Structure 1
Amino acid sequence: MGSSKKLTLKSLKAGRPPMAKSTRSMSRKASRALINSHHQLQKRRRQAVARGDKVEEALIDKELAKLGGLDHYQQASLQGQSQDRGGDTSKVLLEWLPVAALRSLGRRPRMLEVGALSSRNACSTSGLFEVVHIDLNSQEPEILQQDFMERPLPRDSTDKFDIISLSLVLNYVPDAAGRGQMLRRTLSFLEKSEASSNPSTASFFPSLFVVLPRSCVDNSRYFTEARLEEIMGALGYFKVRDKMTQKLAYSLWRREDVAPKAGVGFPKKELNPGKTRNNFVITLGGSGKG
């Protein structure tokens, strides 16, 4: 992990749209349409960036601005996470964790929530965790405006966490290698595995909670659930729980007390041919780079 400090890590800002203020409320149908349009434009923007097409990139930025930019997108996402719509992904994590055992620990496990839209989701209001919320464009005073890829590496255990949440974050990283870098970088911020007097909690921590759009793992030419498990295994993660809904793929990964596998890489490779499939992929370099 020592070499990670020398890496030139890409900022997540490259995958986020320009910001514009908006205070309009949205219906469920309108918020879903905005999110879908936004994702399509972001896909075209990433392709333009990859080609070095500055003209196309600027045109897409204008289209994104017309949609309301990042603030409006986050407003739509918050609409989807409202309690009456059952969209709070942290509810699934809370269902998986041994709540009674956590209450008897005598301390609150530390959680880092990357890409936080709200400081009032299920995990944050449960009283079980000491939560640090970060996002590129903070919507609340309780959320630190910060890019995870630029967050200073921990100096000691006081800067580390028992669990990290990447809920609908990886799919927003602008390129495949950057997604691999993000997954690798989580290792630096997690506490190491240690024996616990309570086996109920020891089997869950330290861990990484990942939520992706379902289409990323079951309708991509280059990515599958099996490939995600291979990548996570190479990093030293073991899958504790997973769940697939109509729209989302949830998974919880425990960090094992092993070093990441050296020399094991996962390049972009076609796994599921098909014209109707998308191009989502996570790549992982075998040299310690994403």
Structure 2
Amino acid sequence: MSVLKTALGSLGTTRKQPGMISQLQSSFDRYKCTWDECQQRLPGDKELRDHLSAHSVDALAHWACGSICTWQGCKFKAKFKTTHQFNTHLENIHAKPLLCTRSRCTYKRPFKNEYELERHNSSKHSAERPWECPYDYCPSETRAFARKDKWLKHIREVQHENDAFCLYHHCYFSTIRAGKGFEDRKEISTHFNLWHSGRAVDGYGCALGSCGNTGKRDRWHLLGLQQHLQIQHKIVLGLDSLQTGLKGTDHIFRSQQVPFDLYNKWIDCEICASQTLQTPLGNTTSTSAQFGMAPI
């Protein structure tokens, strides 16, 4: 009789104590090697990690570029193109399994990467739903989501009023002027994924010149703000410089963030200026200097 069966037998009638049996089984298997032909049980975490690392070396030695995992008993069928990809797989799945550490979580399998673990935690262990539908009039009962992919799926599948054009200020007027909206629902979700944030805390905006008079915030990704500054204000900044300049702020680009060498060279946003600073003849301002505007 095995050690486990002996332990279970000492519990008496097993039907009355399923929780205790499950706990004992889990504790018994906790330090068990996952290499099929090994199945050795180790005394603790450190010993198990060292033991699994030794198997990783063996698996790597028998692996060839473009082949599947060589860990005995691995059920993954994906082929790994680089050594880095395979080493990441070995570490997260086998040598140092990336597991959910929440108590009472029923999902016991390791995750391929931190992103998948974060998705799991957002879906299963968080009550927060920070990804919000951007449309004011949404026919769906569910308008907030725990994960970005669910948010994008909502935008792609649920039809909203006037969603042939992006609802955010600068995108809307740019596409209206071009006379070309979204061709299909997939293009809508692709646009939001590339340019806008579904979480208010992550979104960026511009309040430079006339952009500060519209009261609109575009919830751009950082790349979207960078493109806006370059096209509409002729301010060219790298993503790292832009992010550093906005660190610790409300993510709104203002005159304080304009580099000293560009302070008197930036131009006003034509889209916003045409709505907020019209002359009696209907002409619009094109630069802050033309109207004696001080950058805000």
TM-score by length of 2: 0.22
Higher share in strand = 1
Of structures 1 and 2, the one scoring higher in RCO (CA 8 A, sep 6+) is: 1
